[in-house]
Amino acid sequence: MAGHVHLLDDEGRQRLVRHGFLPEREVITGIGKVAVQVPRVRDRGANPDGSKVRFNSSLVPPYLRKSKSVEELLPWLYLKGISTGDFSETLASLVGPDADGFSASTITRLKATWWDEYEAWRKRNLSGKRYVYIWADGVYLKPCLVDDRQCMLVIIGADEYGDKDVLGMMDGFCENADIWRDLLWSLKK
């Protein structure tokens, strides 16, 4: 509101004023559910085009039900081998018994979003980049309780300033020439 102190209404009063609170809601955080109330701001005037100044809290965005830290936890649980149907039970043990809102359909929707983000990252344009060092390695993971270890092929590049980027990655069950060729070929696209 401090950035809009200069706005006055027709009677010379502050145009933007505090106007109570939005309805209380619960947000799932790393310590469990937390009740929050977001202050409401009222615009008593209008801009020349008839629009009003609108505010959204940067701490509690509209429709937020799960904190960012909880949403960032979900991919790690998935990578650790937690099945879609077990997320609710796992989160209940981590966050508390009130960790609802993580149904199998929610996790499936999030996995689709993660895949779309991965595809956009994989198809990003690297033509303007100049790397002076390239590292390529196969990292063997054991995220599930199975005997087969999965291999993640990773290529990292460092530019002349020492900034590093993951250039590409691909999963497989072993390192061989065919898989490395596929990964290197995907960088060319």
Q: What is the pLDDT of residues 55-107, one digit of tens each?
A: 766 666 665 556 555 555 666 666 666 666 666 666 665 555 555 556 667 77
- Computed on alpha carbons and rounded to an integer, the radius of gyration of the chain in Å comes to 24
Are residues 156 and 135 in contact, defined by beta-carbon separation less than 8 angstroms?
A: yes
Six token digits for residue 94: 């981590």
CA angle 133, 139, 144 (to 5 degrees): 155
Overall pTM > 0.85: no
